[in-house]
Amino acid sequence: MLMSCDATVQPRQQTLARTAMISGRGLFHGVEARLRLLPAEPGSGILFRRVDLAGKPEVKAHVDNVTSAPRRTVLAASNGAFVETTEHLMSALAGLQVDNCIIEINAPEVPAVDGSCLPFCEAILEAGLNIQSAPRDLLIIDESQGVNDRAGEQWIEIIPSFDGSTTIDYRLDYGPQTAIPSQSFSVSMTPEIFLKEIAPARTFVLKNEVEALQIMGFGKHLTGKDLVVFDTDGSVIDNKLRWPDEPVRHKILDCIGDLALNGQMFVARVVARRSGHKLNHVMAKTLSTITLRQPELQWAA
């Protein structure tokens, strides 16, 4: 289904009004982490600062700093700073249209919280948003851009939007033999709709995938109560879905966070089928190379 609403975007950059704090264990490594989200100057973007490392090295949240890792987004800089599993926090910031923020973290991995990005959103909104004096630049997509895997089973495309809105259409289809049924969802992106329809969607995984990951040393601290685990018959282990189509909503959540690494807000229609972090990163890189031009939109006062 398509959820429509006012496509107006705040014309000026935003940051947090006050410091926001959140803590918890990481999804893959289970290490306790504490985050402090700080207000930042206009034009500074999103920056992670590893306060537990000597010199407090920083890594910018940009696709140029993405390093290869399975099933998650990892950022790394040449100064030794790296942060894992950034996609949910980045989705929260992008979904709420936060342009500038310094994220202090005292561990290698962002907290998993409940597997969604809603707790991050709630912390940000409790701190409040501050509209800054600098105008917000928007990247207007006027030519279609697409990437796919070699088999053509996974792809993501960004095409022009003719009404000034940004929408995401996602189809999740793992084939007839999977425990997760085929699902589609389409959403017009505003902070209000993001909070209601996307932010609460949690990480999901198949039971056999959990077993394989734990053999590799990942997620040994997790149970079915910590994320959505599908059994072989399609039932959810020790948990309950928030929507029947929660998996496809979470894939949209991941997509938003990954595409935000292009470094600029954009106006376009995103159409994807089974796209994961790897293809999302390729598309973010593509977006980052497009020349920014000012939108021909009527800003709201």
- pLDDT one-digit tens code per residue, 111-123: 999 999 999 999 9
pLDDT in tens, 190-241: 999 999 999 999 999 998 887 777 777 777 777 778 889 999 999 999 999 9
Task: Check residues 159 and 9 and name the one with the higher pLDDT.
Answer: 159
Decide if 183 is inside a domain.
Answer: yes
pLDDT in tens, 232-248: 999 999 999 999 999 99
Number of domains comprising the chain: 1
50 burial level (CB within 10 Å; 0-12, 13-18, 19+):
buried
- pLDDT value at position 108? 97
pLDDT at 82 over 60: yes
- pLDDT value at position 162? 87
Decide if 125 is inside a domain.
Answer: yes
What is the CATH classification number for the domain harbouring 89?
Answer: 3.30.230.20
Whether 277 is catalytic = yes
Sheet holding 66-67, edge to edge: 66-67, 74-76, 82-84
Residue 288 DSSP SS3 = helix
pLDDT at 297 over 70: no
Q: What is the mean pLDDT of residues 72-76?
A: 97
Whole-number percent of the chain with pLDDT over 90: 77
**What CA–CA distance (Å, rounded) separates 168 from 258?**
13
The conformation of residue 195, written as its DSSP 8-state character, comes to I
pLDDT at 296 over 50: no
Decide if 301 is inside a domain.
Answer: no
Identify the band that residue 137 occupies on the pLDDT scale cut at 50, 70 and 90: confident
From the CB of residue 23, how many other CB atoms can be counted at a distance below 10 Å? 14
pLDDT in tens, 146-164: 999 887 889 999 999 988 8
Task: Give how far the C-alpha of residue 247 lies from the chain's centroid of Cα atoms, to the nearest Å.
Answer: 14
Q: What is the mean pLDDT of residues 128-136?
A: 96
Decide if 188 is inside a domain.
Answer: yes
- Structural domain for 176, as ranges: 2-288
- pLDDT value at position 43? 96
pLDDT at 299 over 70: no
Two tokens, residue 35: 């985050």
- What are the two backbone dihedrals, phi and then psi, of residue 235, each rounded to the nearest 5 degrees? -80, 160
Decide if 133 is inside a domain.
Answer: yes
Q: What is the mean pLDDT of residues 78-89?
A: 97
Two tokens, residue 187: 């959403």
Q: Quote the mean pLDDT of the chain.
A: 91
- pLDDT value at position 157? 97
Q: What is the mean pLDDT of residues 180-194?
A: 96
pLDDT in tens, 90-113: 999 999 999 999 999 999 999 999
Decide if 75 is inside a domain.
Answer: yes
Identify the band that residue 288 occupies on the pLDDT scale cut at 50, 70 and 90: very high
Task: Given the residues 29, 62, 277, 281, select the one marked as catalytic.
Answer: 277
Decide if 298 is inside a domain.
Answer: no
Decide if 295 is inside a domain.
Answer: no
| Highest mean pLDDT (candidates 137-141, 217-221, 279-283) | 279-283
Q: What is the mean pLDDT of residues 243-261?
A: 98
